[in-house]
Structures are given as C-alpha cells and as structure tokens.
Amino acid sequence: PDVQFLASVLPPDTDPAFFQHLRALDCSGVTVRALPEGSLAFPSVPLLQVSGPLLVVQLLETPLLCLVSYASLIATNAARLRLIAGPEKRLLELGLRRAQGPDGGLTASTYSYLGGFDGSSNMLAGQLRGVPVAGTLAHSFITSFSGTEVPPDPMLAPAAGHGPRVDLAARVETWLERVCGHLGLGVREPHRGERAAFVAYALAFPRAFQGLLDTYSVQRSGLPNFLAVALALEELGYQAVGVRLDSGDLLQQAQETRGVFRTVAAQFRVPWLESIPIAVSNNIDEQELARLSQKGSEVDVIGIGTSVVTCPRQPSLGCVYKLVSVGGQPRMKLTEDPEKQTLPGSKAAFRLLGSDGALLFDVLQLAEEPPPQAGQELRVWPRGTQESCTVRPVHVEPLLRLWVQQGQLCEPLPSLAESRAFAQQSLSRLSPAHRRLEQPALYQVALSEKLRALVDRLSAEVPSESPLLGAA
C-alpha cells in the first residue's frame, strides 16, 4: 500500500519499473558506523555514517534525522539540567503531556534518562525501555473526594503484620487535632476532602504514602492533613515516603515545609519525619532549577516536564544527513551559506587526549588515512580558522564504531543504563570551561591536512565569488 500511495501522487507517466524496484528494496546492503550512544559529539563530527546502495541510503535520510535529532537534543538538554542540578537531586521527567504525541513522549523519557535524569512518570518508557518509573498523586485524585465518603474498610494492620487492626480514619482525626494544636491552626481549617483522599491513599498504599500538598492551601490544609495521616501511619510502623509541591514559590514553600517537618518531628519524637523527601514540580526551567538546587534548598526531588521535553531554549537540533561520497568519489555541497557546506569524502574521527586524560580536540580525516598515533606529532587545521597547528596526543580514541555491516548488527547494543553511565562518564572528562552552560569555551574539531586539501580542491571547482546579477 505504501508504494501504491506513492504511485498515486507521482506523475502518472512515472516508469513502473521504479515502483517494482522500490518493492524489492531492503537494508541488506547498508553499513552503519556511529558514535556509541551517550558519546560527547561536537559540531562536524558525524553521529552516524551510513553506506550502501545510493537509493536506499537516500531513503534513510528523513527517518534517521527524525529519530536521531530529537533523541540527541533531549539527551543534551537532560545533561544540561543534570549539570545545573548537581549529582544529588533526584530528577524526574514528567513531560508526556507536553510531547508531540505518545511516541515523542517515549523518546523524551528514554533520552532524558540517558542524559542524566533518574526516571520518568511515563509508564510506557518503563515497560518498553526499562526507564525507572516514579510519580506522585494527581490533584484530580484529591479533588475527587469531598470528605463525606466512607472508606470501604478504614481498618489497617500494623506494618509488622501482627497486632490488632486499627481504624486509620479515626486515628487521623485524633492526630489532626494534635498537629493543628501544635501548628496553631483551627482543626476545621484543613480540607476534609483532601484528608479523605490522603486516608484512602494511605489505606491502599500504607508503605508508600505520600502527599500532594497544594490542592487547597499547603500550610493550612495540605501539610496538616499530610502530617495527621503520616503520624497515624507511624503509630502502626509505616513511614511516609514524601510530599510534592506543585504551585507557588517552590523553594520558599519547601523551606517552610521542611521547617514544619522539623518542629513536628521534634514535638512528636518522630525523627525520620525531618528528612522526608520533598518533591517539587510546576514549569521548572533552567533558571528555576538552579534556584531549587542552590545550597540550603530543602528540595530533594525535582520533576520537570515542559522544559525537558520541548527544550524551549533551543527546540530543535539541526542535524543534517549529507552525501559525501559516491563510488569512492568524494562529493561536496557548496551552497550560498558557507555554514551549510558539507565536508566531502568518507571520513574517520578521532579524539585526541593529553597526558592527564584531558580532551584536546577531535580530528576528522579521510577514511583511508592512517589513524593518528599516540606520541606522534600531527598537523591539523581547526575548523573555522585559516591556520594549522601541531599537536602530540598522549592518547588517541577512535570515535566511530561499526554497528551494522551489510544489514547485520555486528555487536550487541549497550543497554540504556550503560549508555547513561557512559554519558555521565564522558561529560566528567570535559574541562570545566567546555562544560559550563553559559558561553562555554569552544571545543575544537580539526581537519587533517588531506581532508583540508580535498575541501579546498572541491570548493575551487565552482567559482562563486560574486553574484552574477543584483546588488554587490
């Protein structure tokens, strides 16, 4: 049906042999070299090298760009967010609803994990990709309770399993009085429906009780209600696992909430309550993340949706897929924009390292050239400059690996968790100047002398100094 559709939109005199040819196509002649997932990639270094029958590899252009660009963008964005948050905060991706459909959301969840997040609320990403899943509860769960509901069974057994069952709902009311007394709140101030929701949640998940605090008012409702349930559970040997704040000034509220936890923990002698994890969410961008991650922040878990999924600072990554060689002959596109010129020829890429393992720069050369040797001087031409320089690397790492040969996978792909670890390890090797998020130092990518000479030769083939007509 695909070929049939194609025939219906192409000119009616299209050679029928073309459609026959399309029907017989497959990827058995395609070979793919690529950077391993999670690699640091700098502009001009190929992410993928695809070779095979011309028509087939041309048909792969859009699918590969579509699959690689967004995944790389998200991984990069997640890595930035991780660098901002530091290693300690737990970062959760919560952006499925802001993705371009469920498929985009799946990619976002997968590659934000690869880039350094700890998990996602996207269950499908857990099921299909092994991303750790986590989440809290929804406002709609809380607002669905008015407080007049009667739990089908309010009795809960102690965590240890033995001992009499206790009416949790009744214990919560008792604890509410104590908590409100301690906090100077009227016992009728906390919302009954919210409390009923917390009790229902605690009865269903006594070992995983958590509270969403901001449905009505954090300080006057969500927090006392949560504490009443948490303390009633505590009597039975259960520890609540966390709270979430989803509106208002998150940093300030986390600090206030932690303050309340501390005083309540002391008052009622429940030490673990002091350090209960506080999760926050609500349109957190890079700037707000930096604020929430500052020293003294009482925030433990940070959920980010829109900002990780849509990458508002740069919503697309301009990956391109260019023909560089046909039948062993190099090809080059010159165009009217020097930036859109391509680097001709089948290439190899190497990362040069100094004595301390520091990254010096990446070198692109023609595939047929011998690889750079550790300890040997090399003359290269950094991109964007007109001058060459020499370097004597202490280590040389080839960047591209053969993954698919003639349509067959050559080695097992690393797991997502392995790629995630590799990404963090790769980032840690980058110098602070290159790693900083605002105006980072430019990491150099250089051409070998032979590649540079080929670019010069092909550029000279078409004169393009001045337009033929029109202004200047």
CB of 388 to its own copies, least distance (A): 27
- The stretch near its own copies (CB under 8 A) out of 138-146, 170-178, 403-411, 419-427 is 138-146
- CA 25-28-29 angle, to 5 degrees, is 95
Query: Can you tell me which of 29, 43, 86, 102 binds its own copies, judged by CB under 8 A?
Result: 102
* Burial grade of 303 (CB within 10 A; 0-12, 13-18, 19 or more): buried
Subset of 389-418 contacting its own copies (CB under 8 A): none
- The stretch near its own copies (CB under 8 A) out of 6-14, 228-236, 355-363, 377-385 is 6-14
CB of 354 to its own copies, least distance (A): 37
- The Cα–Cα gap between 104 and 371 comes to 39
Under rule CB under 8 A, residue 150 binds its own copies: no
Subset of 9-38 contacting its own copies (CB under 8 A): 9-11, 13-15, 18
Query: Can you tell me which of 256, 369, 397, 449 binds its own copies, judged by CB under 8 A?
Result: 256
Subset of 413-452 contacting its own copies (CB under 8 A): none
Subset of 180-209 contacting its own copies (CB under 8 A): 183-185, 189, 191, 204-208
DSSP summary character for residue 383 = T
74 closest CA partner among 125, 32, 38, 126: 38
62 closest CA partner among 310, 317, 321, 316: 321
Under rule CB under 8 A, residue 127 binds its own copies: yes
276 closest CA partner among 249, 239, 247, 248: 239
Return the exposure string of 73-90: e unless at least 16 CB atoms fall within 10 Å of the residue's CB, then b.
bbbbbbbbbbbbbeeebb
Under rule CB under 8 A, residue 356 binds its own copies: no
Give the three-state DSSP class for 119.
strand
CB of 104 to its own copies, least distance (A): 3
DSSP β-ladder status, 31-34 and 48-51: antiparallel
Query: Can you tell me which of 37, 93, 118, 214 binds its own copies, judged by CB under 8 A?
Result: 214
Q: Could you tell me if 60 and 41 are in contact, meaning their C-beta atoms sit under 8 angstroms apart?
A: no
- CA 73-77-81 angle, to 5 degrees, is 170
Query: Can you tell me which of 24, 140, 432, 439 binds its own copies, judged by CB under 8 A?
Result: 140
Subset of 316-335 contacting its own copies (CB under 8 A): 316, 318-319, 321-323, 326, 329, 331-335
Query: Can you tell me which of 27, 35, 38, 70 binds its own copies, judged by CB under 8 A?
Result: 70
Q: What are phi and psi of 267, to 5 degrees?
A: -55, -45
Query: Can you tell me which of 16, 87, 101, 271 binds its own copies, judged by CB under 8 A?
Result: 101
- Is 160 or 357 the residue whose CB approaches its own copies more closely? 160
